[in-house]
Structure 1
């Protein structure tokens, strides 16, 4: 699902599954800010149809004219409610009861965590998610096994990747004279800044016009730099940051101060990700395609908060394996 689709506000979207065996329909009363293509792939394996209801100035007309006829085909209805749309929640519920159908009701907060494996973030900074009202951070029972994983895995990675360090040093010098390593200020745990170390993949004048997000096929990247970015080789020097205790192997990706200031002001709960140590790779990195700006930062935060809230050794190892898959598939940037 692209950004144009999920921000459309003109009509109700009905998606039909070709594989689901159940005769159950899913109705989501507000979807603009949390669904992406991967999410729909999951849902269309579980439900025969998925009905997405956009913004409307006249919910009575929208729901009675477009949603009501669709309900006749199904005996089971799963309604995902959003507190911001109490009126349409009530209208849909009354439609289902009137048609004598079975209904299951789930809040958007629980639905995102239980079905999409991410945490729902409200549209506006002033709104809240009840499941995030308590402080999210890693307790000692989490910090200790993470530290063991960080040290052992990083030491192993350094030893097996040493030939790549030597190769990268030579290729960078050949293609772009200047420093081999690139240091960039990032925001870490408790909002403390540190300098993240990477192999330099861009020209020396890459930010002569100011800080900007990197993009796919970035013209500032030299040829071997592009290879390093897609294969994640440029991230290897961050092993040094792990030994300095700036980074963890797995965690929210650290952003630059110039960007986090904007995100803190515009994205609810964004500062929660600074209550844990950032990582070289993370749940958001393997679950969400590369993107830049507030829209993508908000989507990535949904995965980061899920990781923080639901941390387990199993999830940690899953992210490591998915990272290997991403690297081998050269899906990085």
Structure 2
């Protein structure tokens, strides 16, 4: 129900069968037709997520092997970084990344604090710029916790803060979070509450208009970012 409310549906939209017939006869579109199309989109998107993630598994395993060899020299520590993020319907989950920063036992970064760039390791800097650090999230996709495209999952505690100060922030939590998203393509990395406000607006636009046309736009934009050799990325 959260998905429908986010796209502008409400209980008042669920009319009786005679009203649907009348709407159809008057040239309008029955609500059931819209719901059927949305169901087809959600189903096909999930199939796309699974197929692409399975195809990426050999790349993921190969990069794991490379990092196991290189990490002791340029990125000492664990292979993966695990962090609790906010998922669909406000359910927390553990998101996977290749670790790109030095380990800190007492991290005190808040929702309005900048990224601690001094902790990024030499190899971690390449992982972040190439976005290769995000590749382990195909496992989150296969588990159904994420999608390839959707609002980026926020740090759990940050999301709780943003929800209290940003109107309609919870709209982005009505769908599966994504490995890439409309806000990432349009805005990029955010590390302040003011930037998070803009990000929330972009995410809300995506949720209200999500479909294959918008997903293909995000996918094309993501590929352009990945293969822009002269563009600085965080």
Alignment TM class, shorter chain as reference: 0.7 to 0.9
Q: Distance in 2 between matches of 1:224 and 1:140?
A: 42
Match of 2:193 among 267, 276, 294: 294
Distance 1:150 1:132, change over 3 A: closer
Deviation of the 1:301 alpha carbon: 1.4
Q: Which structure dedicates a bigger proportion of its chain to strand?
A: 1
Indicate conservation of the 8 Å contact 2:87/2:153, yes or no: yes
What do residues 284-307 of structure 1 show as CA deviations (whole Å, max 9, x unaligned)? Answer: 011103221211111111211111
Unaligned runs of 5+ in 1: 1-130
What aligned pairs does 1:100-139 form with structure 2 within 5 A after superposition? 134=9, 139=38
2:139 is matched with 240
Q: Distance in 2 between matches of 1:245 and 1:297?
A: 25
TM-score by length of 1: 0.56
The residue matched to 2:53 in structure 1 has which SS?
Answer: helix
TM-score by length of 2: 0.78
Q: Distance in 1 between matches of 2:184 and 2:135?
A: 16
Indicate conservation of the 8 Å contact 2:110/2:158, yes or no: no
2:211 is matched with 312
2:233 is matched with 332
The residue matched to 1:316 in structure 2 has which SS?
Answer: helix
Deviation of the 1:273 alpha carbon: 0.7
1:211 matched to 2:109? The reply is yes
Deviation of the 1:312 alpha carbon: 1.8
Q: Distance in 1 between matches of 2:233 and 2:144?
A: 24
Larger radius of gyration: 1
Q: Distance in 2 between matches of 1:140 and 1:211?
A: 40
The structure, 1 or 2, with the larger RCO (C-alpha pairs under 8 Å, 6+ apart) is 2
The residue matched to 1:195 in structure 2 has which SS?
Answer: strand
1:174 matched to 2:58? The reply is no
What aligned pairs does 1:69-88 form with structure 2 within 5 A after superposition? none
The residue matched to 2:126 in structure 1 has which SS?
Answer: helix
2:46 is matched with 147
Unaligned runs of 5+ in 2: 1-5, 11-34
The residue matched to 2:119 in structure 1 has which SS?
Answer: coil
Equivalenced residue count is 201
Q: Which structure dedicates a bigger proportion of its chain to helix?
A: 2
Q: Distance in 2 between matches of 1:158 and 1:332?
A: 24
2:222 is matched with 323
Indicate conservation of the 8 Å contact 1:231/1:331, yes or no: no
